[in-house]
A = this chain, B = another copy of it.
Amino acid sequence: MLSFADFGSDNHSGVHPDILDALRNVNEGYTVAYGLDKYTKKAVEQMKEIFGKQSAIFFVYNGTAANILGLKTVTDSFHSVFCAESAHLTVHECCGPECFIGCKLVNIPTSDGKLTVDLIQPYLIGVGDAHMAQPHVISLTQATERGTTYRPKEIQKLADFAHKHDMLLHMDGARLCNAAAFLNVGLNEICGKVGVDVLSFGGTKNGMMYGEAVVFFNKALAKNFEFIRKQGMQLTSKMRYISTQFSAFLSNDLWLQNASHANEMAHLLARQIQNIPGVQITQKVEANMVYAKIPNQCITRLQRQYYFHRFNEHTCEVRLMCSFTTKPEDVLSFAQAIRKALDAT
């Protein structure tokens, strides 16, 4: 067991006290199961305030499910989904999308985790040719797996391109809050208002216990979702316990406080280590993570004390993740430990 702070994942933190309280507050009495309860109604209304009256909102257990089932609802088995080659969807969902949707993920190389029209264009081939997977969705991650964020205009441009080619725009928003906090905009400014069609909206990485939302900005797209969610093993019986978490998460700017703090800690960490000789920060630090190259020996030495991951097992690039519970003093100590580890090698 490591005695120091953990920069491995924003999933390694616990649950915010407000969320725990919310769980306790809905515990009394009988409540109809599967989402027909008053707590779910309230949470959905709160979300419609944010994402628009025309949206359709559904809760699932986790982000992998939000991605896979949201996409399954709007794609056929012969479709292709364009995503960054670093996208969680293609790298870290154990080919769930291929297995459960039947579609092809087209992995597009991009150095900073962000897609652009120019990057996608060469992959837009075979439309109407029965031998080839049919382009149908562009999937963005906001904030990206590389810690970068899409500006509203960038998203709008991708949305326009998608729609012009009869495609949809999907957004994996596991860290949408971190992106909004960094960009200093409302949540919907970087999804529904700039052309996103389907969103996975995440809470777990930002202080919730479990639960993720799928948002369809045009409810006509959501027609089959309830069947696909049940079939997809993601209809929770005691729905009130997910709904109340979202209610609390969206109240009193809890989402924003948590995300801002996590981002700030990443920025602090970046400032602390950017000038250490031997450390090379490899991505712009925007959301709550820092990517850096550190010599191999230092990684090994540091991992005896701190939990964090290599980005790729073949390289010496590491991912350092901050969360709503990261303490400034732990960031400072960690930076200090990196400095020491480098001195020692």
Contacts and interface: CB of A to CB of B under 8 A. Distances in A.
Contact of A100 (B64, B100, B230, B313): B100
Nearest to A15: B27
Dominant SS at the A interface? loop
Contacts of A93: 131, 230-231
A62 to B, nearest CB: 6
Interface residues of A, number: 81
A231 B61 contact: no
Nearest to A9: B33
Contact of A27 (B12, B20, B32, B91): B20
Interface in A1-19: 1, 5-6, 8-9, 11-15
A61 B236 contact: yes
A107 B122 CA distance: 15
A23 B130 CA distance: 26
A95 B133 contact: yes
Contacts of A69: 233
Contacts of A107: 107
A211 to B, nearest CB: 9
Given A20-B24, A61-B61, A93-B230, A11 B237 contact: yes
B5 A241 contact: no
Contacts of A31: 12, 14
A11 B238 contact: yes
A333 to B, nearest CB: 14
A96 B102 CA distance: 8
A210 interface: yes
A343 interface: no
B11 A227 contact: no
A98 B94 contact: no
A81 to B, nearest CB: 10
A164 interface: no
Contact of A132 (B29, B92, B307): B92
Contacts of A243: none
B61 A77 contact: no
A251 interface: no
A5 B23 contact: no
Given A20-B23, A95-B133, A204-B238, 8 more contacts: A8-B32, A11-B238, A94-B227, A96-B233, A98-B102, A130-B229, A205-B237, A210-B210
